[in-house]
Structure 1
Amino acid sequence: MIQVEKVQDKHALKAFIQFPSSLFSDDPHWIDPLTVEREEHLSKKNPGTDHITWQAWIAKKGETVVGRITAQTDTLHRELYGPDTGHFGMIDAIDDPEVFDALFAAAETWLKSQGAHNITGPFSLNINQESGLLIDGFDTPPSALMPHGKPYYASHLERLGYTQGIDLLAYWMKRTDLFFSPSLTRLMDQVRKKVTLRPLNRKKFAEEMQVLREIFNSGWQNNWGFVPFTEREFDIMGDQLKYLVPDDMIHIAEVDSVPCAFIVGLPNINEAISGLHGRLLPFGWAKLLWRLKVSGVRTARVPLMGVRQEYQFSRIGPIIALLLIEALRDPFAKRNIDSLEMSWILETNTGMRTILERIGAEPYKRYRLYEKQIQAE
């Protein structure tokens, strides 16, 4: 018998957070997230909870946890897409159809009670956090703030009536393999005369973060499932980036002194926390500090990049994106960062995909966002 229990106390939350560690114990590519980070993510400290209402469940066989899931609604999403939208996320389970059936039955029943019948996911907890179900690329570890999964997840979701909404791609490139053809270089040199690239101004950090937020919300507003970042979300993100990202790994592009695009290069935190088993105590914090500040990490991820809407279909828009990518090359070289993940990129974003593939990047992971219509109560 499968029992599904709501996560309603600290004990159940601990079981919810720790379950993936046992599920992926035989997966050499699994990296335990920091427990304290997951606890904060699933608490009021997560600024997304200002507009997200969520519920989590764990599935048990006897006393053994065999699965987990969340369901959530997002008022910002509903303002854009209608009051009948809802989401699921953080799905992990053993390869057992009864477990998946029970978890999704609980999630869908709760979503119906919230008036939702157009369901999308997985999100942890919305599209601006961890998104998508890993479909391809199980043979490498996930980069920072990207999900991992089991190959059998997709078949269980599809059996339950979930269909492809859109796919997200992660691109991988080696710093030394970046190649700008003579024709691209000429275009970049022409645009460089009109565009000013500068690193983040730490003396105006809070103001700069809101500039990035405005650019991101402008550039992404027409994308599938877009939900705008709030000021508080970017404030808190800025508090984190302040300690994790050097100033010269955040670049802003300006045209006539007006910010029009940006890029953020994040040292791969997953590389730094590998082997800590989610713990910062008793010595995990020291190892993390050593890896981030002393020994360094060899990989990075671009989790945030944006070009204002008015430039995206202009002649110089794609070239500005190239100039921003190029701007990270020297800061990465200075820190011995060898490789970079660009993620995520919508499969339908042919402009960005073409740019990345022309300079030597290759898609190496694919994530799927699913959708399903359920009968609302």
Structure 2
Amino acid sequence: MGRIAACVDGGGPGIGSFGFLQVEQDGATLAALLDTARAWLAARGMTRLRGPLSFTINHEVGVQVAGFDSPTMLRMPRNPPWLSPMLEAQGLAPEKDVVACTLDLAREVHRARAARLLSGFDARLRIRALDPRDWPAEVARLAALFNDAWAENWGFMPIGDAEAAAIAKIMRPIARTSVILFAEWDGAPIGVLAMLPNIEEARGSWRMLPAMLFGRVGSARIAMLGVSRAFRGTLASSAATAMMLSTAFDAAERRGWRRIEISWILEDNAAMLALMARLPAPVTGRWRIHGGPI
């Protein structure tokens, strides 16, 4: 009838999370699941419940509330429209929305604009692809950049060593067909972009193996795009972001990925949403994080 998971690390002092939520359209079942999660968390000193987060905000986030007509995307939750109202009926109020923005590569105008603006930019900035031969060290660099660039975001949770190892294991099967880029300034990494083939397109079909091995799908997801805080607000930061996106779009074109989802983005991240509008990549989906006292 349903399932739930509870986690003591919900993104702040005293906050526990719930996630991996699946439930029939039955308020009593949902109430029983949430009550059990609350009791487990209260016994461990938590005073507030937040979710769905599976397990934390670094992974699958929120309950979908808009964009149900959009195709399924890798590691973005799908659920019926009635789930968010059911959570609110259980005393969990909306806390924050995250959105997905989708680029139709045939309508993209970013690369031409970026080429004009970045012509002759400082040679100390360069973009390079992740080196799979140095996989553990490259994943460590990616995690370090994430822990820096995302540190001031709402609900931020740093990636620890064990979590980085788990992410590396999960990503390894599709790493060779993914596009993972580092921006470097004087040889030091300052930015990261990770674009993954949308293997959800092939789920449950004979196409799954070629999707994983060769990226033979029509869409992809940019799951990470960020620049170190030390460069935030500088021309180098803007240039690094623009160059990483241009390089990623070139790669998507070569692979036949026609639709690129950039997700997720906090609903109040005005700078990122303005960048999406310039690509153009309009908002195509919305997910809601709920919260309330235990």
TM-score by length of 1: 0.73
Q: Which amino acid aligns with 2:69?
A: D
Partner of 1:219: 149
Partner of 1:105: 35
State the Cα deviation string for residues 185-215 of structure 1 (Å, max 9, x = none): 4333354644101111222221111111111
Distance 1:180 1:190 in 2: 17
Partner of 2:8: 73
Distance 1:247 1:115 in 2: 43
Stretch deviating more after TM superposition (262-271 or 287-296): 287-296
Alignment gaps of 5+ in structure 1: 1-65, 277-283
CA drift at 1:242: 3.3
The Cα RMSD (Å) is 2.1
Distance 2:233 2:195 in 1: 24
Equivalent residue in structure 2 for 1:361, among 268, 271, 281: 281
1:203 aligns with 2:133: yes
Partner of 1:311: 231
Q: Which amino acid aligns with 2:70?
A: T
Distance 1:293 1:247 in 2: 7
Distance 2:215 2:232 in 1: 39
Three-state SS of the structure 2 residue aligned to 1:328 is helix
Equivalent residue in structure 2 for 1:143, among 54, 57, 73: 73
Three-state SS of the structure 2 residue aligned to 1:143 is coil
Partner of 2:85: 155
Query: 1:361/1:210 Cα in 2 relative to 1: closer, same or farther (>3 Å)?
Result: same
Partner of 2:266: 346
On the 8 A contact 2:177/2:214 being kept in 1, the answer is: no
- Report 1:294-305 matches (<5 A): 296-305=216-225
CA drift at 1:247: 6.9
Partner of 2:106: 176
On the 8 A contact 1:130/1:147 being kept in 2, the answer is: yes
Query: 1:214/1:247 Cα in 2 relative to 1: closer, same or farther (>3 Å)?
Result: farther
Larger radius of gyration: 1
Distance 1:99 1:266 in 2: 36
Alignment gaps of 5+ in structure 2: none
Three-state SS of the structure 1 residue aligned to 2:110 is coil
CA drift at 1:182: 6.7
Equivalent residue in structure 2 for 1:331, among 235, 239, 251: 251
CA drift at 1:257: 1.2
Distance 2:249 2:111 in 1: 16
State the Cα deviation string for residues 9-56 of structure 1 (Å, max 9, x = none): xxxxxxxxxxxxxxxxxxxxxxxxxxxxxxxxxxxxxxxxxxxxxxxx
Distance 2:257 2:211 in 1: 13
Partner of 1:371: 291
Three-state SS of the structure 1 residue aligned to 2:78 is coil
Query: 1:112/1:303 Cα in 2 relative to 1: closer, same or farther (>3 Å)?
Result: same
Distance 1:152 1:189 in 2: 50
State the Cα deviation string for residues 147-196 of structure 1 (Å, max 9, x = none): 11111111111122211211111111122221138765433335464410
How high is the sequence identity, in percent, across the aligned residues?
Answer: 28
Distance 1:86 1:248 in 2: 33
Distance 2:260 2:238 in 1: 19
Partner of 1:117: 47
Query: 1:175/1:373 Cα in 2 relative to 1: closer, same or farther (>3 Å)?
Result: same
Distance 2:165 2:209 in 1: 23
1:165 aligns with 2:95: yes
Count residues with an aligned counterpart. 294
Query: 1:294/1:125 Cα in 2 relative to 1: closer, same or farther (>3 Å)?
Result: closer
On the 8 A contact 2:125/2:236 being kept in 1, the answer is: no
Three-state SS of the structure 1 residue aligned to 2:117 is helix
